[in-house]
Amino acid sequence: MFEKAGKVTDAIEETLIAFFLGAMTLLTFANVVFRYAFNDNILWALELTVFMFAWMVLVGASYGVKKHFHIGVDVIINMAPEKLRKVYAMVAVTSCLAFSILLLIGSWNYWYPFATERAWYETDDIPMPEMLQFMSDWLNEGERYEKLPRFIPYMALPIGMALLTFRFTQIAFQVFSGKLDRMIAGHEAEEDLDALRADVLAGSDDDAMAPLTPDSYKKSDVNVKPNGKED
């Protein structure tokens, strides 16, 4: 169950992160061009960029848990025996899961009023797309929105915390089932991988720079006869 849900969550997170990162880059570049080439600017560019950055960070926090990107200290974990290491992992993942649940509850309680009694509260500069005006009939008593309502960008809070809670639940399942004994990637494993990559690259360079010797011709698959023809 967690594997299938994890694949779907992976696709959602990767798509959102890539979209917001690309959109932020394009929008910022376009605003610079307008400012210096046409002595004008996109009025809503800054506010929209801030909201997109918030989306990317909150979704990226969840993705970082899955990829073990978050910073952690594993000195005590590495010194502990294997059985005690699993206990440490259980305590850590339980604490993180409890904290993420609190964040999820708090973010929902903050966002929900903006989608109900405060649905009229709009952003400062971002115009409301025409395709989303149907929301005015549902949430704003039929009055058209001039600007984007704040509950749309603020939705990043509950969605990001829901994804984070799911990721910690996924890690907790792996820890309690014995598949993981820590929540972060071990630094020793990273160093070994870097050393292996360096050795492979060094070996490739040595092979490319090695001079030709009679033994090299013996190892070759092509035999050259004295008349210059190949076998």
Residue 38 lies in a domain: yes
Per-residue burial over 173-201, b if 16 or more Cβ lie within 10 Å, else e, is ebbeeeebbbbbeeeeeeeeeeeeeeeee
Residue 171 lies in a domain: yes
**Residue 144 CB-density burial (10 A; 0-12 exposed, 13-18 middle, 19+ buried):** exposed
Q: How far apart are CA 3 and CA 1, in angstroms?
A: 5
Residue 92 lies in a domain: yes
Domain that holds residue 70: 2-190
Residue 211 lies in a domain: no
Residue 150 lies in a domain: yes
Q: How many domains does the chain have?
A: 1
Binned average pLDDT, 10 residues per bin, the chain of 231 residues: 74 92 94 89 92 94 84 70 80 91 96 90 90 86 89 94 92 82 58 62 59 48 48 50
pLDDT confidence of residue 185: 60
Q: Which of 36, 66, 32, 57 is nearest to 46 (CA)?
A: 32
Q: How far apart are CA 176 and CA 18, in angstroms?
A: 32
**Residue 129 CB-density burial (10 A; 0-12 exposed, 13-18 middle, 19+ buried):** exposed
**H/E run at residue 102:** helix 82-111
Residue 209 lies in a domain: no
pLDDT confidence of residue 222: 47
Q: For the chain, how are helix, strand and coil distributed in percent, rounded to 5?
A: 70, 5, 25
**Residue 209 CB-density burial (10 A; 0-12 exposed, 13-18 middle, 19+ buried):** exposed
Alpha helices in 112-210 (DSSP H): 134-139, 156-176, 187-209
